[in-house]
Homo-oligomer: A and B are copies of this chain.
């Protein structure tokens, strides 16, 4: 009992398979009664076209491969959401590969996605294997979203302006009266950019001497550890700007454990405005990075690039917005 094919439909409707194909692809050159007959046969048989046969013949798959760094990071999920909605509207489906979930990211890129002959590729977030992206980008239209690497010839980049975001956060803290401010840094290019924004603003305000940077990672654990180190040091900061919300929550825990009140004893800013920051119990001041919007823009870029693969790569940055919540306030006493 195989699923019906276009020939079955043709036979039932009393026409040729070519005509069925025409009707299904919406040709205007078909007489109404034939069209009706075909559509009725489709309905009666429950016919669904076979995507494999179609892509073999059309030489395209209407599928976009998405390489994601980590599905556990809520910000990426939001980006993915924007991506999906825009691509779906253009009749493209999305095939997801998570670099963390199944480790063999490079393998996935070169094997799965090229075997499937995806029409396009979106790399989301800092990926473990940039070389794999390079290889793939040479064969298929590619857009990098949510990070600024790798920079490659015909590849577009859509990301938040991390340096600006870091400036906003730092300016906010300084504006509140903080002088001794620490930054918990993240990894990769994104980490470097946010750090640079922080350091630049501190320098501009003549506060380089009281700026501290502690290396963390993208997790709560990393933020916690970094904060413990920061607060254990002799001259401790009155404010912390964390690389992302997860690290910010870690910092929150560390402060609490050491008996410091937030924001009274320690002001705290995160980054990404994930739903974590929005939890009433945390209510983290953070930088909104507009993940959904970045996803949509990345999708549009990819559509453009599929239409014209040869055009030069562009970098599009979106401006982040500071979201002030409950974890920032002026320092208790002048530093």
- Chain A interface (Cβ < 8 Å from any Cβ of B): 3, 48-53, 55-56, 61, 71-72, 74, 77, 80-81, 84-85, 88, 93-96, 98, 101-102, 110-112, 114-117, 139, 220, 224, 249-250, 252-254, 256-257, 275-276, 279-282
A256 touches B281 (CB 8 A): yes
- Do A111 and B253 contact each other (CB < 8 Å), given the known contacts A81-B101, A101-B81, A220-B279? no
* CB of A4, distance to nearest CB on chain B (Å): 12
On chain B, the residues within 8 Å of A282 by CB distance are 281
Closest residue of chain B to A250 (Cβ to Cβ) is B280
Copies in the complex: 2
Give the distance in Å from the alpha carbon of A241 to the alpha carbon of B85 in the complex. 36
Docked-complex contact B80 and A249, CB < 8 angstroms = no
24 A-B pairs (CB sep. < 8 Å):
A48-B110, A48-B111, A48-B115, A52-B53, A52-B56, A52-B61, A52-B116, A52-B117, A56-B56, A71-B71, A71-B80, A80-B101, A81-B101, A84-B101, A84-B102, A85-B101, A95-B96, A220-B275, A220-B279, A224-B280, A249-B281, A250-B280, A253-B279, A281-B281
Residues of B within 8 A of A3 (CB): 114, 117, 139
Q: Is the CB of A51 within 8 A of B220?
A: no
A212-B50 Cα distance, complex, nearest whole Å: 53
| A-B complex: 4 closest residue pairs judged by Cβ atoms | A253-B280, A253-B281, A52-B55, A51-B115
Q: How far is the CA of A54 from the CA of B52 in the complex (A)?
A: 9
**How far apart are the CA atoms of A98 and B50 in the complex, in Å?**
22
Q: Which residues does chain B contribute within 8 Å of A84, judged by CB atoms?
A: 98, 101-102
A114 vs B94: C-alpha distance in the bound complex, in angstroms?
A: 15
A110 CB → nearest B CB, Å: 8
B96 touches A275 (CB 8 A): no
Name 8 extra pairs, CB < 8 A, besides A3-B114, A220-B275, A220-B280: A3-B117, A3-B139, A51-B115, A52-B116, A53-B56, A71-B71, A72-B77, A254-B280
Closest CB-CB distance, A277 to chain B, in whole Å? 12
